């Protein structure tokens, strides 16, 4: 912003023009008020940017503040994750023992859901495979039976097995056959 000092007409000094830092403007105005000289201040619509070192200082402050916030956020997440993992690791042996006691697909699947990366997860997956294989072997052994009680026992022991649908269908067929025996055709009397 150019500031031009104006001297009284009696003054023999020439007019000088010089650039003043906007931050120094207030100081210059005060100096002008204290002196007998009059200054004319030319203004423009442009905003004066802060000095380059002040810009860098503002950016540094923002970067530092953002870094602090990021560190606090990460630290908080780590604390929550650590607490969550430690409580999970404490409950893993209890959950594993429960899965072993129940020895069911549902029990092992629940364990896997709670502890997907747990110490016993691979064993739980293997146990599920073995149980399914045992159920399939048992189904293959009874699939052609005419004993409704054996089929009902299979359904009761393995309610989630896919072969339960076939076992129920077999029970319905046997029940219908027993209530609707085949009719025998008697030879025609008098037909030679």
Residue 180 structure tokens: 């609707």
Instruction: Output the pLDDT for position 39.
Output: 52
Instruction: Output the pLDDT for position 136.
Output: 94
Pairing of strands 38-41, 2-6: antiparallel
Q: What is the mean pLDDT of the chain?
A: 77
Q: Residues of 120-129 as b/e, b for ≥16 C-beta within 10 angstroms?
A: bbeebeebbe
**pLDDT higher than 90, residue 49:** no
Instruction: Output the pLDDT for position 146.
Output: 95
pTM, whole model, 2 decimals?
0.47
**Higher pLDDT among residues 115 and 189, named by residue:** 115
Give the contacts of 139 (CB within 8 A, at least 6 positions apart): 154, 161, 163, 166, 167
Instruction: Output the pLDDT for position 65.
Output: 83
Residue count of the chain, please give it: 192
**pLDDT higher than 80, residue 191:** no
Decide: residue 154, CB within 10 A, 0-12 exposed, 13-18 middle, 19+ buried.
buried
**pLDDT higher than 70, residue 160:** yes
Instruction: Output the pLDDT for position 167.
Output: 97
pLDDT digits (tens, 9 = 90+) for 101-126: 999 999 999 999 999 999 999 999 99
Q: What is the mean pLDDT of residues 28-43?
A: 51
Instruction: Output the pLDDT for position 85.
Output: 55
Q: What is the mean pLDDT of residues 140-152?
A: 96
Instruction: Output the pLDDT for position 56.
Output: 67
* pLDDT level of residue 11 (50, 70, 90 thresholds): very low
Instruction: Output the pLDDT for position 46.
Output: 54
pLDDT digits (tens, 9 = 90+) for 61-110: 888 888 888 888 887 777 655 555 555 568 999 999 999 999 999 999 99
Alpha carbon distance 144, 170 (integer Å) = 8
């Amino acid at each position: 912003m150019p500031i031009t000092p104006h001297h009284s007409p009696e003054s023999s000094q020439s007019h000088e023009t010089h650039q003043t830092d906007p931050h120094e403007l207030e100081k210059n105005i005060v100096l002008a008020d204290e002196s007998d000289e009059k200054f004319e201040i030319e203004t423009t619509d442009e905003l004066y940017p802060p000095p380059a070192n002040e810009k860098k200082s503002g950016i540094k402050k923002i970067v530092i503040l953002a870094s602090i916030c990021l560190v606090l956020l990460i630290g908080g997440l780590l604390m929550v994750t650590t607490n969550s993992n430690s409580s999970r690791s404490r409950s893993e042996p209890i959950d594993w023992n429960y899965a072993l006691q129940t020895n069911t697909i549902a029990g092992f699947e629940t364990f896997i859901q709670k502890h997907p990366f747990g110490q016993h997860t691979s064993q739980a997956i293997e146990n599920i495979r073995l149980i399914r294989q045992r159920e399939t072997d048992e189904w293959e052994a009874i699939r052609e039976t005419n004993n409704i009680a054996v089929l009902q026992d299979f359904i009761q022991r393995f309610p989630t097995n896919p072969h339960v649908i076939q076992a129920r269908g077999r029970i319905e067929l046997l029940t219908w056959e027993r209530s609707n025996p085949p009719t025998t055709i008697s030879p025609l009397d008098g037909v030679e």
